[in-house]
Chain A
């Protein structure tokens, strides 16, 4: 059971957060010090990983062309699936990053009698994927209320839009529901799709479970425990202004939430979650398909690799070539010793 370890891991984190969050003595540790460290780990780890990728050169221009290239005037080029210039590449990357263009192509192949293979549209992964990422982004931006004073401009509007359906008090954010729904869907998909289940590792379940627990504790805080938001903001503002204070009356569930978020931040740079940074570096997507028009330089290209030389080739086959009326650079030596033997075939 590859899913068991991650379940245990997340349960333990909840336990730790709950226990340490209970006592005033340790609240500062998990509520302020831990997230501060986690944030640093996240930033430093992220940058280090990106620098590490940057250290390795891209020796060849290898875009995956997903449409017609720019070639002849009368052939219509597909600029964004087969970019020819930097600006085309920017559009292609925009479509990848903001609309998940490639995932949108997804199909599902099925084998039938005959045999007959069919390919049906399969947009669930794209849908859950994109909703998950955008709702996560919305949630993160909303949280900026806790770290800015006065709060970021536009945040109020975002919150208003996010609570548009006006259910409950405090109002229920749609992004919270979508967020949790998508995490559940992505998790369940890993369990019920046999192929995906087979390829899934513990490190695939762990972040999903962790993120679910983060979302769940967040919603519990807001809608069930009705935690003291003013106190929390006191704590978070104290944290970011390095003026650490513990207002005291914060519910332990908050500390569980913070421990989970801190874990996510610290886990992020060392895991597959780095796809967030990596997507910008993918050479099959971020390069222009103009390698015949503009020479691309490989920094480690070895000039000492030479072809088997023409001179060497002619030396080996000169007689045959002359015999077959193929032009040669050097004439045959006058009457070689054994001309007949070599000519046999």
Chain B
């Protein structure tokens, strides 16, 4: 799908007539239906993927065709599915009932800010489901239906659900501002679950989910390939620093099982983050193992339905038990940490075969993970830094002027805000915060989370990532910020193209693709570490980039 040139989109987003720029559609939202055309939808799941998961109604279909080949009794299936879920999730029931449509959420959504589409206002996105809910379940629907904006369940409504539940990254920013805490993620998760009941899903979620199930990771890397990729990183570390690092795989009896998103193992810039992990674990002599079976921290089940989330997540505890480790350490990832923090113990606990995580280096006991037995790498690292157990030379990162991007889930579903900042303070000479309305609990999504980082919707992704890119641009111009630090694998995969698009390279260096490099926090840690036995006057960073040394400075 061709995407407009950035010069064009810069003008479009500010001037095209839409709800955000001030042009108000004439027709009511109940009466308008969006057209599906190449570029505004993610490709539907292949029949074999639908079958693999045992989901119903696998078939070849396309959203831009009139007939979606739904099962004959699809309305019944959907309405029964809705009824079941109203009985299982209080959040859904409550959020169907209590919204007053005050509009506080309207301009808080990155999809709305980037597209101006009224149905991307969280209130209307949820109203797509509420209008049907009220039509089926509310008292007085027969007499007051019209006044309450109710709608029967029609194919057009179903199509809207597909369109807009996949134009929501379940980032929960709207729920921060809502006076009742209504969380659109709770609503779109349910819409996605319902759509799967009639065989409507996207391939970019169901295929990685299938891969994760079978091979342990979403790219489908088989055990030997997984190990081989890491051995390349070990080689690079040797070449750059002169240090040997010693990761182990599926090793029984290790103290710690380390799990991170598999993207950190095979894709730039995540691999540099992984090199950071390897260096730090070597630095402190951590007794850890990786697993090829539980080789995916991410969880595409979160984007599918709660059963799949549970099934994929269950590997972590199963593997921890099999290997006999004491506790779990999790790498940098956003939605992975939503699952680990808010769902894992409930779904797959109790992990009574593990011990409360205790840092073997500092002796700190992580009481905040007393039950799950799993801690975040930033918690672990911050504690090491506090106890001065890391030998750090921040000047190794002198070529980096970072800003920090809070990922949606660690920020709004975990409260992990200051640990990364504490680390950043210690590993770089200087860094700068973005606009206060775009960080911490108010952070903006990368625009491509929840399984939306697929190529066919690139323009949409660039639009929904605009609020984030815009805030980065501001600190780039103001302070010369040249790197965007984060603790999320999806960020590393999606912010990179976002930066390349909105902040293309303006330097003389032809190797650079953007003015702002996307970088995992642990890469900055690894790069700042002074390792035993390292090359004297190391000249290269973990990306083989030239460091600012006494020589180059002179």
Contacts and interface: CB of A to CB of B under 8 A. Distances in A.
Given A74-B386, A281-B94, A125 B417 contact: no
B93 A56 contact: yes
A100 B367 contact: no
A108 interface: yes
A56 B366 CA distance: 33
Interface string B36-69: 0000000000000000000000000000000000
Interface in A276-298: 278-279, 281-285, 289-298
Interface in A296-324: 296-298, 300-302, 305-310, 313-314, 316-317, 320-321, 323-324
A5 interface: yes
A15 interface: no
B534 interface: no
Contacts of A64: 172, 175-176, 181, 183, 412-413, 441
Contact of A310 (B89, B149, B322): B322
B268 to A, nearest CB: 23
Contacts of B176: 64, 66, 102, 105
Nearest to A279: B180
Interface in A92-151: 96, 100, 102-103, 105-109, 111-117, 119, 125, 129
Query: In this complex, which of A115, A278, A282, A300 has the most chain B Cβ atoms within 10 angstroms of its Cβ?
Result: A115
Interface string A38-68: 0000000000010011111111111111111
Interface string B249-281: 111100000000000000000000000000000
B100 A310 contact: no
A202 B91 CA distance: 25
Contact of A327 (B98, B123, B249): B249
Interface string B412-423: 111111110010
A50 B347 CA distance: 27
Nearest to A197: B24
Given A72-B383, A102-B177, A195-B106, A202 B148 contact: yes
A198 interface: yes
Interface stretch (A17-25, A75-83, A237-245): A75-83
A291 B342 contact: yes
A103 B181 CA distance: 10
Contacts of A198: 19, 24-25, 29, 118, 124
Contact of B346 (A55, A59, A77): A59
Given A96-B179, A195-B107, A293 B367 contact: yes
Contact of A274 (B98, B227, B413, B438): B98
B374 interface: yes
Contacts of A164: none
B343 A60 contact: yes
Interface in B399-439: 411-419, 422, 435, 437-438
A275 interface: yes
Given A194-B24, A274-B97, A82 B415 contact: yes
Interface string B367-402: 111111010000100110010000000000000000
Contact of B311 (A102, A114, A117, A307): A307
B153 interface: no
Given A6-B147, A117-B470, A65 B414 contact: yes
Contact of A53 (B93, B228, B383): B93
Contacts of A159: none
A51 B293 CA distance: 45
A181 to B, nearest CB: 18
Given A103-B179, A296-B346, A125 B413 contact: no
Contacts of A279: 98, 179-180
B346 A5 contact: no
Contact of A326 (B100, B249, B368): B249
Contacts of B369: 292-293
B73 to A, nearest CB: 25
B14 A60 contact: no
Say what secondary structure dominates the interface of chain A.
loop
Given A49-B97, A295-B349, A323-B224, A69 B342 contact: no
Contacts, number: 336
B224 A282 contact: no
B214 interface: yes
A292 B341 contact: yes
Given A69-B416, A74-B386, A307-B314, A202 B346 contact: no
Nearest to A308: B213
A85 to B, nearest CB: 12
Given A198-B19, A306-B311, A68 B94 contact: no
A283 B139 contact: no
Given A59-B346, A324-B227, A306 B371 contact: no
A53 B94 contact: yes
Given A195-B121, A270-B140, A306-B314, A60 B346 contact: yes
A100 to B, nearest CB: 6
A220 to B, nearest CB: 27
B34 interface: no
Contacts of B227: 324, 326
B467 interface: yes
Contacts of B461: none
Interface string B108-141: 1000010000100101100100000000001110
A329 B323 CA distance: 10
B311 A65 contact: no
B464 interface: no
A302 B22 CA distance: 48
Query: In this complex, which of B93, B178, B224, B319 has the most chain A Cβ atoms within 10 angstroms of its Cβ?
Result: B224
A272 interface: yes
A302 B346 contact: no
Contact of A193 (B94, B103, B123, B341): B103
B297 interface: no
B138 to A, nearest CB: 7
A282 B368 CA distance: 24
B312 interface: yes
Contacts of B543: none
B310 interface: yes
A321 B21 contact: no
A33 interface: no
Given A65-B413, A102-B176, 4 more contacts: A111-B20, A270-B140, A278-B180, A317-B223
**A-B interface, 9 closest residue pairs, ranked by CB to CB distance from nearest:** A69-B415, A202-B147, A278-B98, A65-B415, A324-B224, A307-B314, A284-B181, A119-B437, A285-B181
Interface of A: 2, 5-6, 9, 49, 52-72, 74-78, 81-82, 96, 100, 102-103, 105-109, 111-117, 119, 125, 129, 193-204, 206, 270, 272, 274-275, 278-279, 281-285, 289-298, 300-302, 305-310, 313-314, 316-317, 320-321, 323-324, 326-327, 329
Interface of B: 10, 13-14, 19-22, 24-25, 28-29, 86-94, 97-104, 106-108, 113, 118, 121, 123-124, 127, 138-140, 144, 146-149, 172, 175-183, 186, 213-216, 222-224, 227-228, 249-252, 292-293, 306-307, 310-315, 318-319, 322, 340-343, 345-347, 349-350, 364, 366-372, 374, 379, 382-383, 386, 411-419, 422, 435, 437-438, 440-442, 466-467, 470
12 contacts: A56-B87, A111-B113, A202-B147, A272-B100, A279-B179, A289-B415, A294-B370, A297-B346, A307-B311, A308-B213, A308-B315, A326-B249
